[in-house]
Amino acid sequence: MQQSAAMIPVFDQLCPMHVLLDTTGHVVHAGPTLQKLRPDAPLASLRFLELFELQRPRAVRSMEELLASSGMKLHLRFRDAPPTDLKGVLMPLPGGEGAIVNLSFGISILDAVGDYKLTSADFAATDLTIEMLYLVEAKSAAMEASRMLNQKLQGAKIAAEEQAYTDTLTGLKNRRAMDHVLGRLIAGERPFALMHIDLDFFKAVNDTLGHAAGDHVLQHVARIMVEETRAADTVARVGGDEFVILFDGLTGRGVLDRVARRIIGQLEKPIPFDGQRCKISASCGTALSSDYDTPEAERMMADADLALYASKRRGRACHTFWSRDLAEEAQATLPPACRGDAAHVPPPRQ
């Protein structure tokens, strides 16, 4: 064993996962990588067969039976946790001094590297494991780079979609987004209300105070509409000073009328801008999905618009619901050559 002890530095360098066994099968020395697997339990002096469970060949219970497996591939694992699987080969030492067992992780190398935080320094320089670790590291780096790229692309996609569906001045949804939500509500057969709002006297603000004042007013209007509606509702700017609110699951006339009156009341308060006071109001028209046997987006938009202009004719700053009577009144105001058949307007449900 003295001769073998002199070779320990060589063994540690060339096969850092080896164990030297004496004639009784006890560990005399463990390579640095093997010892790293059990840093709190020095392996020297432990009996090899008490430290490892030999799975193949089976029924090995003594040093004599272990020596008989010389040159064979050993399949073994630690008896304590974590029970890492290992491969090995045993060779007797000269002069019957014991044996050396060289171990490796085999296909368990990737799990072992993660479990024990191993690096290339824990393996012999010529070990193919080093090449595998390099490949794994390169693959991990490539996967991380791919993940980061996909993350950036996804972020860019989300930003582009947000931009495509957002009015840049007010931060509200735009006409495209409103059309999408309206189509979804109709397809889902959910009850809802569509309120069309047009600002009164907004042109006077632009004409007298300039477009910067007009932009300020539109942003102020957007904040009020968001504050006066629920998170489930959709507020969209669909034109210069035109807005649409979609009330998901809400068709109660009393509630909707109160919301419209609150919005009108807030908008009638003078809006300060650069030492000036901007004065506007709003007219509203609402169509209810429950007033149609089969709601259609274009029809509901037209009817809400009809109700809106009824509010304008009533003197502005008020709210009107669409009804069949309203449609018939609108038909009556048209020149005879332009009148259509009022019967095409879907009747309200009773």
Q: Render each residue's pLDDT in the chain as its tens digit; 350 residues.
A: 555 667 888 888 888 989 899 999 999 899 898 888 888 888 888 899 988 999 888 888 888 888 888 888 999 888 888 888 889 999 998 888 899 999 988 767 777 777 777 777 788 777 766 666 666 666 777 777 778 878 777 766 655 665 688 999 999 999 999 999 999 999 998 899 999 999 999 999 999 999 999 999 999 999 999 999 999 999 999 999 999 999 999 999 999 999 999 999 999 999 999 999 999 999 999 999 999 999 999 999 999 999 999 999 999 999 999 998 887 776 666 555 544 544 344 443 33
List CB contacts of 304: < 8 A, sequence separation 6 or more. Answer: 194, 195, 196, 244, 285, 286, 287, 322
Average pLDDT along the chain? 85
78: left (phi over 0), alpha (psi -120 to 50) or beta: beta
CB atoms within 10 A of CB 14: 15
CA 335, 341, 345, 350 dihedral sign is positive
Q: Residue 280 and residue 84: Cα distance in Å, rounded?
A: 77
Beta bridge partners of 18: 102
Token code pair at residue 314: 């009533």
The dihedral region occupied by 275, where left means phi > 0, alpha psi between -120 and 50, and beta the remainder, is: left
Determine the pLDDT at residue 349: 35
The catalytic site residues sit at: 241
Which amino acid would we find at residue 161? E
pLDDT at position 347, please?
41
d(CA 296, CA 262): 28
Q: Three-class SS string for the chain?
A: CHHHHHCHHHHHHHCCCEEEECCCCEEEEECHHHHHHCCCCCCCCCEHHHHEEEEECCCCCCHHHHHCCCCCEEEEEECCCCCCEEEEEEEECHHHCCEEEEEECHHHHHHHHHHHCCCHHHCCCCCHHHHHHHHHHHHHHHHHHHHHHHHHHHHHHHHHHHHHCECCCCCCECHHHHHHHHHHHHHCCCCEEEEEEEEECHHHHHHHHCHHHHHHHHHHHHHHHHHCCCCCCEEEECCCCEEEEEEECCCCHHHHHHHHHHHHHHHCCCEEECCEEECCEEEEEEEEHHHCCCCCHHHHHHHHHHHHHHHHHCCCCCEEECCHHHHHHHHHHCCHHHCCCHHHCCCCCC
Farthest CA pair distance, the chain? 123
Burial 52-70 (b: 16+ CB within 10 A, else e): bebeeeeebeebeebbebe
**CA neighbor of 304 nearest in space, from 289, 323, 290, 285:** 285
Q: Give pLDDT, residue 115.
A: 76
The Cα 96–Cα 108 span in angstroms is 33
pLDDT at 249: 95
**Rounded to two decimals, what is the model's pTM?**
0.55
Check residue 143 and give its pLDDT: 77
pLDDT of 106 reads 75
